[in-house]
Amino acid sequence: MKAIIDQILQWPVIVQGALGSALFWLILVIGERSFRKCTSIFRGFSKEKQIEFLYADAVRHMAFADKDSGHFVVLIYCAVHYVIQALLAICLGLIFESIFPVFGVVGFAMAIYYLFLALNTVRDTKSGVDHKKELEQIEKKIEELKAKA
């Protein structure tokens, strides 16, 4: 492994930067897809979480359907909520790390989770999607979940 790192350090700086950017992009894409897969599995356990994710999907589809800046502001507000939670998790992890070192790792892990939630909130929709139809389906799912509760 050390030989690979030494070889990479001999490359030109621009190539090292491109390699680092590609690696960062790959980690982000794999992390985002893994997060979506895991949340789709785990959100089935809680009706409240299902409804929360459906509301976020509804706001996203409203924003893209109407191109209304008000809906985009709400969408960004929802994402900022998760970013603040991530910052709080990092701060608490760093504060309590002096007492129990594992709290630092837990704080960073929670922060990554919340940052992926924020990314999931503001993600783009698939091209060619009928937003009005998607909104109707989401509203039906929300009503069904509320009726079961």
Going from the C-alpha of 16 to that of each of 1, 3, 13, 30, 50, the distances in angstroms are 16, 15, 5, 21, 42
Region 88-113: what's the mean pLDDT? 91
CB-CB neighbours of 3 under 10 Å:
7
**Residue 133 burial (10 A CB sphere; 0-12, 13-18, 19+):** exposed
Whether pLDDT at 53 is above 90: no
H helices of 67-130, where? 69-96, 102-121
pLDDT band at 57 (very low <50, low <70, confident <90, very high): confident
- Under 8 Å between Cβ of 79 and 123: no
pLDDT band at 149 (very low <50, low <70, confident <90, very high): low
pTM over 0.85: no
pLDDT tens string 68-86: 677 788 888 888 999 999 9
Whether pLDDT at 128 is above 80: no
Check residue 65 and give its pLDDT: 76
AA letter at 73: V
Check residue 132 and give its pLDDT: 81
- Unique residue bearing structure tokens 């919340």: 114
Check residue 87 and give its pLDDT: 96
* CA-CA-CA-CA torsion sign (95, 98, 100, 104): positive
pLDDT tens string 15-45: 888 888 898 889 888 888 887 787 777 666 6
Structure tokens at 30: 């794999």
Check residue 90 and give its pLDDT: 94
Check residue 83 and give its pLDDT: 95
Contacts of 4-9 with CB under 8 Å at 24 or more apart are none
Coil, strand or helix at 124: coil
Average pLDDT, the chain: 84
Check residue 129 and give its pLDDT: 76
Percent of the chain whose pLDDT exceeds 90 = 15
